[in-house]
Amino acid sequence: MQVNEAAESTKPRYQIPSARRGSVVDEEDFAVLRTVLQNDLALTAGPWRDRFEAQFAAYTGSRYALSVTSGTVALEIAIRLLDLQPGDEVIATTQTFQASIQPLLDSPAIVRFCDIDPDTLNLDPRMLEALITPRTKAIILVHYGGNPADMAKICAIAARHDVLVLEDCAHALGSAYRGRRPGSLGDIGTFSFHSSKNITTLGEGGMITFDRDDWAVRVDRIRSNEVDMVAGPVSGILGSPPETLPWMKFSEAVYRESVAGIHGAGTNATLSEVACAVGTVQLRKLPSLVRRRREIAAKLDAVLGGYPQIRLPLVDPGDEHSYHLYTFFVTEGDDARHALVRALDRRGVEIQLRYFPLHLTPEWQSRGHGPGECPTAERLWFSEHMNLPCHPNLTDTQVALLCSALRSSLNEVFGRRAVLSHS
């Protein structure tokens, strides 16, 4: 029989894929798109952006929420607000995606990596204070997988040393820490609406949250292609503005402002009206999307809980985990972990391990970091850490297949006696 290679190449590799889309796009999203596209308003910087930002600020409990074109851009702008100078230091978690701290490669600051809590994969506050020096300006953390970091301890340490806290909340939309939402717990929060995240704004998008009035002015200037500057008194050289009709636009700033200092150039980071309109719908659907993630996570917990060779992360009883990522640990060593990955792969389960410790990546090793710096992160990553698919686009049939494949793979690697001895 002749095989059609083109057809074979389009076949899905996995029955149970990791999240290509972490949210669900349906008729509600299509309807709001039609509403936006069928009117004659501009498709940028309009009422849908205002609405999305107001709703997002209310949801997180932040005074300000300003949208931008991606989660990475949100991090870039948030790090600009730190005003880092040569010799300044930033403490960062090592267990996160590269975008969390990649902007620091362009800054004059020194990065000091903090090891992680072995039970949550979040920045470990027990390791934090020893890393703080008089030059420390900020702490950058992630709520890994949607499990909130220990913000009470981290923020207390930061307050004692007058250090800012930047929360990367890319995983944590839908989570809660002691009744409060990530993004309102530290000084600055950043969010991603990438296709894989808990809500999406048509594939890309981001948000920055905070309470400071001066930062609101700066972020709006940066994202609107204006100079990130400190304004001074007008010099009066150009005289009075000329008369114009109401709809004519020109820069009145040249007549009323002079520059006392420049932080940097602005850029166009405006999230489109169609993206913001979809964001309002997605935010409304967020509770049901997260509820579905938790249902799947509970089924996976039930399977994994029967094996003594498996350890589940700890979730504080007062917190709410959004399960952007579903993580567990294989405690029998790297051979057992690798065998389990291969067994699941053969059964059609896509495994993507997230994330490689940043202090071991080439770019950060070139800055003087390397093995032994964060031993807990290294041990867990290379020997124990595993992620499983957990997202609302999985059907009930796929979830059942996932649980069956997981049970069969565990039995293959550890034997049924493992379950019986634990029961």
Render pLDDT for 54-98 as a digit per residue (tens, 0 to 9).
Answer: 999 999 999 999 999 999 999 999 999 999 999 999 999 999 999
User: Of 99, 41, 96, whose CA–CA distance to 73 is shortest?
Assistant: 99
Q: Is the Cβ–Cβ distance between 182 and 61 less than 8 Å?
A: no
What's 224's DSSP letter? B
Q: Helix (H) and strand (E) counts for the chain?
A: 14, 14
d(CA 254, CA 227): 12
Q: What is the pLDDT of residue 290?
A: 98
Q: What is the pLDDT of residue 208?
A: 98
C-beta atoms surrounding 295 within 10 Å: 15
C-beta atoms surrounding 198 within 10 Å: 29
d(CA 66, CA 58): 12
Sign of the alpha-carbon torsion through 59, 355, 293, 48: positive
* The two three-digit tokens of residue 241, written as one number: 């503005």
* The two three-digit tokens of residue 9, written as one number: 């190449």
Helix ranges (H only) for 305-333 are none
- Beta strands 136-142; 89-93: pairing state: parallel
DSSP 139-167: EEEE-GGG----HHHHHHHHHHTT-EEEE
Low-confidence ranges of the chain (pLDDT < 70): 1-12, 235-239, 246-252, 416-423
Sign of the alpha-carbon torsion through 164, 169, 174, 176: negative
HSE-CB for 87 with a 13 A CA cutoff: 2
User: Residue 10, exposed/middle/buried by CB under 10 A (0-12, 13-18, 19+)?
Assistant: exposed
User: Of 338, 303, 309, 311, whose CA–CA distance to 415 is shortest?
Assistant: 309
Q: Is the Cβ–Cβ distance between 181 and 174 less than 8 Å?
A: no
DSSP 353-386: -----GGGSHHHHTTT--TTSSHHHHHIIIIIEE
Q: What is the pLDDT of residue 231?
A: 81
Bridge partners, 180 (sequence order): 177
Helix ranges (H only) for 38-191 are 47-60, 71-80, 125-128, 151-160
Q: Is the peptide bond before 323 cis (omega within 30 degrees of 0)?
A: no
d(CA 184, CA 59): 10
Q: Is the Cβ–Cβ distance between 208 and 66 less than 8 Å?
A: yes
Backbone φ, ψ for residue 330 (5° rounding): -100, 115
In the chain, the amino acid numbered 5 is E
pTM to 2 decimals?
Answer: 0.93
* The two three-digit tokens of residue 167, written as one number: 């929360």
Q: Is the Cβ–Cβ distance between 312 and 144 less than 8 Å?
A: no
Residue position matching structure tokens 């493992």: 418
DSSP 3-state assignment of 118? coil
Residue position matching structure tokens 């950058």: 140
